[in-house]
Amino acid sequence: MQWDFTRTRLREGYAIADVDAFLALVRSSLDGTAAVPLTPARVREQRFATVRLRTGYDEDEVDAALDEIEARLAARGGAWGSGGPRGLGRET
């Protein structure tokens, strides 16, 4: 998955570093390389710091991406247990 969010400056947005760090966890969960993969609930509960008068990511776009990620993880069976990946595989 690739994301390209609009950047905000004069209105509130999510801190870019926070969002980018979380998306790195998402990528590793989706490609099966995460030591502890994300669950749909973890994605749903994720919160980011907000910034004003500094460049941030558009909150609506990030929230929509999180909804998509949550649904994708849920459709793939969420996180895996002790038996290894359950539906979380490489991008096709």
Question: Residue 56's pLDDT is what?
Answer: 98
According to DSSP H, which parts of 1-87 are helical? 16-30, 40-45, 59-75
Spans of all domains in the chain:
7-75
CB 57 within 8 A of CB 6: yes
49-84 residue pLDDT tens: 999 999 999 999 999 999 999 999 999 875 443 333
> How much is the pTM?
0.80
Q: Show the tokens assigned to 26.
A: 């998402």
Residue with tokens 């980018």: 20
Mean pLDDT over 25-37 rounds to 91
Cα(73)–Cα(14) distance, rounded to whole angstroms? 22
Say which residue, 40 or 85, is predicted with more confidence. 40
Instruction: Report the amino acid identity of residue 41.
Output: A
Task: Work out the mean pLDDT of the chain and round it to a whole number.
Answer: 85
